[in-house]
Amino acid sequence: MWNIDLTDLEELKPHADRLFEKKKSLDESRPLPNSALQRIRTDLSIEWTYNSNSIEGNTLSLRETQMVLQEGITIKGKTLVEHFEAHNHEKAIDYLYTLVNKNYVLRSIDVLSLHGLVLRSIEDDYAGRIRNGGVRIIGANFTPPNANKVSDLLDELISFVNENTDGLNDVLLATIFHHKLVWIHPFFDGNGRTVRLAMNLLLMRNGFPPAIILKNDRKKYYEALNQANNGNYHKLYLLMLQALERSLNIYLNAMPGNTYGEYEPISHIVSEPEFKYGQEYISLLARQGKIDAYKEGRNWLTTREAINNYIKTRKRDR
C-alpha cells in the first residue's frame, strides 16, 4: 500500500551523496566544544520554531520568537495563541531531544505526544488525539482518508518506517514518512507542525541535525506535497536534502579547521570581474541541489570551491 516510485530520484543521488559525506565528516570531527554545540542547538531550535509556526500562519518574526522564548517577553499586537504556539513548539523540541538516541524506534505514541505538546492549551480537546471526523486540506489535490481508517493507516505507516524493507536512506525514509503522515492527516489541526517535528526523530536518532523547512519555501513545500500525492517524490526529497544540508553546514562552519570553504552570497561571487558565470545560472544550480549551497533568508549562499568543483566535473563528463 505504500509502494513508491523511486525511478526519478536517481538524479538527486549526487546531492544525497554529498550530504552523507558531510554527515560523515561531522561524525568524525566530533565532539565540538559543549558551549558551541549548545549555542547552535538553541539557535536552530528558535529557527525551527519560527519557521514551522510561520508556515502554519503564526505571525511572530524570527526575532520576536527569539524574544518570547529566551526572554519570556510578550509581544504587543500578537495573540495569546501565537505566544503559546512558540512556547509549545519549543517544549516539543525539548521532548524530542529526550527521545532521540541510536536505538530509537519510531512509535505512534511519540507522534501523539508531540502533537499533544504542539496544541497544549490551544486545542486541549484534541491535543494528542487522532481525529474522529473528516478534514480537508485547502489547496490540496486530494481529500484525506476517512476518520475510521486513520488509526490503522498510522500503524501501517509506523511499521513501514521501522521495517524499511527497501533499505531507504535516512533522508528518503524521513521524506516519505513526512508525506504519508500529512496525507493520512491524523489530526484535526497541527498535522504539519507535528510531522515537521516527527520526521526529525528519524533523522536525529542517526546523528543528523534537524531539517528545517523554511517559511520562505512554503509555496514550494505545498507544491512538493501535491506532487508526492501523485507518487512523485522528487521535489519533496530535494527540499528535505536542502533543509538538512543547511543545518549540516551550520555545524560544519562552526568546526575548527572545516574544509568546506567560505559560504558567500551568490551575488557576491558573481560580481567579481573575473567570474565567468551569471547569477541566474549559479542560482539555478543552487536551487537544483547541483552545487553545495544553502539558503539564508532570501539569499543563496555557496562557496567558490563548490562552483569550481561542479564546473570541473561537467567538463569531464562532456
Ligand X SMILES: Nc1ncnc2c1ncn2[C@@H]1O[C@H](COP(=O)(O)OP(=O)(O)OP(=O)(O)O)[C@@H](O)[C@H]1O
Residues taking part in catalysis? 185
Rounded to the nearest whole angstrom, what is the least distance from the CB of residue 165 to ligand X in the complex?
24
In Å, how far are 137, 144, 154, 231 from 131, measured between CA atoms? 14, 11, 12, 25
212, 44 contact by CB (below 8 A): yes
Q: Is 229 annotated as a binding residue?
A: yes
Q: Is 205 annotated as a binding residue?
A: no
Task: Considering the complex, state which of residue 25 and residue 226 has its C-beta at the smaller distance from ligand X.
Answer: 226
37 phi and psi angles, rounded to 5 deg: -60, -45
Q: Which does 231 bind (CB under 5 to 8 A by kind): Mg ion, ligand X, none?
A: none
Task: Considering the complex, state which of residue 82 and residue 189 has its C-beta at the smaller distance from Mg ion.
Answer: 189
Q: Which does 225 bind (CB under 5 to 8 A by kind): Mg ion, ligand X, none?
A: ligand X
Q: Is 189 annotated as a binding residue?
A: yes
d(CA 318, CA 313) in angstroms, rounded, equals 9
Rounded to the nearest whole angstrom, what is the least distance from the CB of residue 213 to ligand X in the complex?
9
Task: Considering the complex, state which of residue 190 and residue 209 has its C-beta at the smaller distance from Mg ion.
Answer: 190
> Which residue lies nearest ligand X, judged by its C-beta?
192
The residue ranges that bind ligand X (CB under 6 A) are 55-56, 137, 139-141, 182-183, 187, 189-193, 195, 222, 225-226, 229
SS3 128: coil
Evaluate the CA torsion angle 172, 182, 232, 242 in order and state its sign.
negative
Could you write out the DSSP letters of every residue in 24-87? HHHHHHPPPPHHHHHHHHHHHHHHHHHHHHHHHT----HHHHHHHHHH-PPPTTS-HHHHHHHH
Q: Is 196 annotated as a binding residue?
A: yes
The residue ranges that bind Mg ion (CB under 5 A) are 189
Task: Considering the complex, state which of residue 180 and residue 193 has its C-beta at the smaller distance from Mg ion.
Answer: 193
> Which residue lies nearest Mg ion, judged by its C-beta?
189
